[in-house]
Amino acid sequence: MNNPKPQEWRAEALSANYIADYKPFNFVDGEGVRCSLYVSGCPFHCEGCYNKAAQSFKYGKPYTEELEDRIIADLWHESVQGLTLLGGEPFLNTGVCLPLVKRVRALFDDTKDIWSWTGYTWEEMMQETPDKLELLSYIDVLVDGRFEQDLFDPNLAFKGSINQRIIDVQASLASNKVVLYM
Q: Is the pLDDT of residue 92 over 80?
A: yes
pLDDT for residue 1:
73
Q: Select the CATH number that applies to the domain covering 11-180 from these four: 3.40.50.720, 1.20.210.10, 3.40.50.300, 3.20.20.70.
A: 3.20.20.70
Helix (H, G, I), strand (E, B) or coil at 8: coil
- List the one residue out of 61, 101, 59, 66 whose CA is nearest residue 82: 101
Q: Which pLDDT band holds residue 98 (cuts at 50, 70, 90)?
A: very high
Measured between alpha carbons, how far is 114 from 101 in angstroms, rounded to an integer?
Answer: 8
Measured between alpha carbons, how far is 91 from 112 in angstroms, rounded to an integer?
Answer: 20
pLDDT tens figures, 52-68:
999 999 999 999 999 99
Q: Is the pLDDT of residue 182 over 90?
A: no
pLDDT for residue 68:
98
pLDDT tens figures, 18-64:
999 999 999 999 999 999 999 999 999 999 988 899 999 999 999 99
